[in-house]
Amino acid sequence: MNAPSSSRRRARVRAPQLIGKGGWINTGDKQLTLADLRGSIVILDFWTFCCVNCLHVLDELRELEERHQDTVVIVGVHSPKFVHEAEHQSVVDAVERYEVHHPVLDDPELATWRQYAVRAWPTLVVIDPEGYVVAQHAGEGHAHALERLVTRLEQEHAAKGTLRRGDGPYVPPEPVATDLRFPGKAVVLPGSGHYLVSDSTRHALVELAADGETVIRRIGTGERGLEDGDAATARFSEPQGLALLPDGGVVVADTVNHALRRVDVETGRVTTVAGTGRQWWQGSPTSGPAREVDLSSPWDVAWFEDRVWVAMAGVHQLWTYDPERERVEVAAGTTNEGLVDGLAGDAWFAQPSGLSADGARLWIADSETSALRWAERSADGDGYVVRTAVGTGLFDFGHRDGAAGQALLQHPLGVTALPDGSVAVSDTYNNALRRYDPVSGEVSTLATDLREPSDAMVVDGDIVVVESAAHRLTRMRLPEEAVRVEAVAHRTQREATDVAPGPFRLDVVFSAPAGQKLDERYGPSTRLLVSATPPELLKDGAGKGTDLFRDLVLDPAVPEGVLHVSAMAASCDDDPDNEYPACHVHQQDWGVPVRLVDGAGARLALVLAGIDEGAEGAEGAEGVDGA
């Protein structure tokens, strides 16, 4: 459904000021205002560094940022989900880690998020050179639409004399000399006892001696790219997970290249074994020859049951790669984001980011649900089931030990099977190493004061932790006793939206980009999936459909909850003479906290692309609908 048409001219909405208690990053300590940016086309990127979809958008924006560097200023507005992400140094680290080359406003209290009525990570808001909001886009897949809009705005405002060309306000930070820079994962190489580490921010692999410090060699040029070759010529793009293969090779999750690479440890030669370099989108094949199927941000890999299992963070699934047959396929997950156990094909994940095999179980760090989960063979041996050891869902997290049912983690990125049958969790945003004992069902803390641990390995009875934000490997004894930590619990800090109980209208606003139309050559080009936490919140309206609107009924007996909405729209160039028009997929998942209040609004608009013309009166004037 496109945005409702209107016979009246829509009032122009002035962009609200940019405010954030954390201040500015990448500006040379200058405090920017929108007045400083007048004359430029400004794109606000509301992001948070835990969110893989936000990382996808950072990559989508790189080319546009380079092509229009004299007219466009991208401003990242960092709007945290997790408590750890509200710490200023963590944001500074993330800006360097992900090579963000534009100004970033650190908004730990979500002040600018509220000013612009943002409801989801990521959201892009476009402001014209005169300071007015002209478009809003949620989710991924909008690079083509932004390119067209920016080109049109350049032409219009050049003609009006309101476009200012020149250098933007970006000031790069001073480079820091370290052997590793935000390393992601590591493995111990058999025979030598050396470590192979994914040096993620520098787009390379580093082999360290057994002391964990001495550099033996680097594999990869250090420049972002997808190139096979020897150690001196190969290129990666933010590699993460590593796994030893039975033949002695190492498979690498080359995350931003959406590919799996194989490294010959003896020669250092790198070859691509799975993925095309393109990101997987809904409707793409989910199995087939490994080099012909698109992948989406593989974050970790593990050898389990005679194949490589892949934590496919970008689509909230587990995939497998069979080196012998040279094939990939989905093994678990639906692409819906959340925490649902059961048969592998029905399970929901949320950015699985760490894997470790232990006998009959594959342990999973499911980062966005702050959960420890596992997959194992089903009772009949025909397929797999997924279970949860620790974690309750997308919105609850913290640092709490004790019985697994009430224990809390905060965005763990790594998991390691220990020799005694227990599991170590790299509890990344708690800066801690945790332990889960499947026998007792208890969770404890092994170590604190680590800096964003993202992986760990057992070496001769010790444990070696990848301290990503400290740029090092740290070796420690496996403690026999737990560390005492004061228990804390948190919920995602977004304010709930007041909505009316009973009949309720959900509208996903989507306007095809200029020069495009909805692609209906092969059936409906839109998709909408709605669910709720708790499920009882929705008396009617849950499930899948092809319209971008849904009439819901909210149960007055459930005072609050979260509406989960997933929308997708495909648009193609509107050129009847072109037999093969270029097509683009736009998609986003929302988790909207709602509170049922008598007399509140009975409509919720979520903007996928465009401006919500359905908002009236003062609401539109205040910019609630996309400003």
* Eight-state DSSP code of residue 84: G
- Given the DSSP bridges, would you call strands 549-554 and 502-510 parallel, antiparallel or unpaired? antiparallel
Cite the beta strand spans of 511-582 per DSSP E.
516-518, 526-533, 538-540, 543-545, 549-554, 560-573
pLDDT in tens, 205-246: 999 999 999 999 999 999 999 999 999 999 999 999 999 999
Count of CB atoms within 10 A of residue 305's CB? 14
**Structural tokens at position 193:** 């006892």
Residue-level pLDDT at 589: 87
With cut-offs at 50, 70 and 90, classify the pLDDT of residue 616: very low
- On the question of a cis peptide bond just before residue 534, with omega within 30 degrees of 0, the verdict is yes
pLDDT in tens, 372-416: 999 999 998 889 999 999 999 988 999 999 999 999 999 999 999
Residue-level pLDDT at 2: 43
Q: Which helix (H) or strand (E) holds 65?
A: helix 52-67
To the nearest whole number, what is the mean pLDDT of the chain?
92
Residues in CB range of 562: below 8 A, 6 or more apart: 394, 395, 532, 533, 537, 591, 592, 593, 594
Q: Check the CA dihedral 109-115-121-123 and report its sign.
A: negative
The answer to whether the CB of 543 falls within 8 A of the CB of 532 is no
103 burial level (CB within 10 Å; 0-12, 13-18, 19+): buried
pLDDT in tens, 433-459: 999 999 999 999 999 999 999 999 999
**Distance between CA atoms of 365 and 367, rounded to whole angstroms?**
6
Q: Which helix (H) or strand (E) holds 66?
A: helix 52-67
How many angstroms separate the first and last alpha carbons of the chain?
21
Residue 111, classed as helix, strand or coil, is helix
pTM as predicted: 0.90
pLDDT beyond 70 at 351? yes
Residues 125-152: what's their mean pLDDT? 94
Which of 55-64, 153-162, 184-193, 574-583 shows the lowest per-residue confidence on average (mean pLDDT)?
Answer: 574-583
pLDDT beyond 90 at 554? yes
Question: What number of residues does the chain have?
Answer: 627
**Distance between CA atoms of 38 and 19, rounded to whole angstroms?**
17
